[in-house]
Amino acid sequence: MENRLRYWRTHRGLTLEQLAEAAETSHQQIMRLERGERRLTLDWMIRLAAPLGVEPRDLLPDAATPRPISSAPKPARAPRALAGGGLAPDLIPVRGAARGGLEQEMFLEDGPIDYAARPPCLAQVRDAYALYVVGDSMVPRFRPGMLLFVNPHRPARRESAVVVIKHDSVVLIKEYVELKEDRLILHQHNPDCFLEISRNDIASFHCVVGSEEP
């Protein structure tokens, strides 16, 4: 997948390592993004545009002549740390996913893009996280920009909303229907249809326990 990431990095005189450090990732990830071996999602575009001093859309392959911006967007707020390290118990990480694709798929990012206040439904739940909705495949239940709260340890029941993470980093937000021996059956609202995902393709799936409007 072509993009203008390498153009802007070299134009700014940055090495892979320098851009990776500014974006809080590894130079291997930047290299894969530049080569098109990894999808340049919306979250990656926002994350990389700031240190490059451009608009996120300027990283697209068909962007018009890019115009540098005068100031970079504010980075995600840093979490409060506990003594000796670790995340403050009243915060949970917000994981990044972006861009609709085949079957309204999104693509999960490596690390947190932000931190959110821990809701009561996740009190004392370890490994809890939040995720922004991208795309309209679950309208009217979920709308783009909503923040979903996820309990990775709660068993899903029929009509529970779930976050399905596939081995290729594709992430789906759908309704749980049934888990069979060889496949997971999901319900999508828009367009209304049922999806069947091979269990061999699934890394994990987690139950959504709450949401917050943007």
Q: What is the pLDDT of residues 45-92, one digit of tens each?
A: 888 988 898 888 888 876 544 444 333 334 444 444 444 445 556 888
Q: Which CATH architecture has domain 5-59?
A: Orthogonal Bundle (1.10)
Q: What is the chain's alpha carbon radius of gyration, rounded to the nearest angstrom?
A: 18
Is the whole model's pTM more than 0.85, yes or no? no
Q: Say how far apart CA 85 and CA 65 lie, in whole Å.
A: 44
The count of other CB atoms within 10 Å of the CB of residue 98 is 22
Q: Where are the alpha helices (DSSP H) in 36-120?
A: 42-52
For the chain, which residues make up each domain, given as ranges? Answer: 5-59, 92-212
- The residues, any chain, with a CB within 8 Å of residue 10's CB and separated by 6 or more, are none
CATH code for 92-212?
2.10.109.10
Q: Rounded distance, CA 132 to CA 212, Å?
A: 10
- Residue 43: pLDDT band by 50, 70, 90 thresholds? confident
pLDDT band at 182 (very low <50, low <70, confident <90, very high): very high
Task: Specify the DSSP element, H or E, that contains 183.
Answer: strand 183-188
Q: From CA 186, how far away is CA 166, in angstroms rounded?
A: 14
Length of the chain, in residues: 214
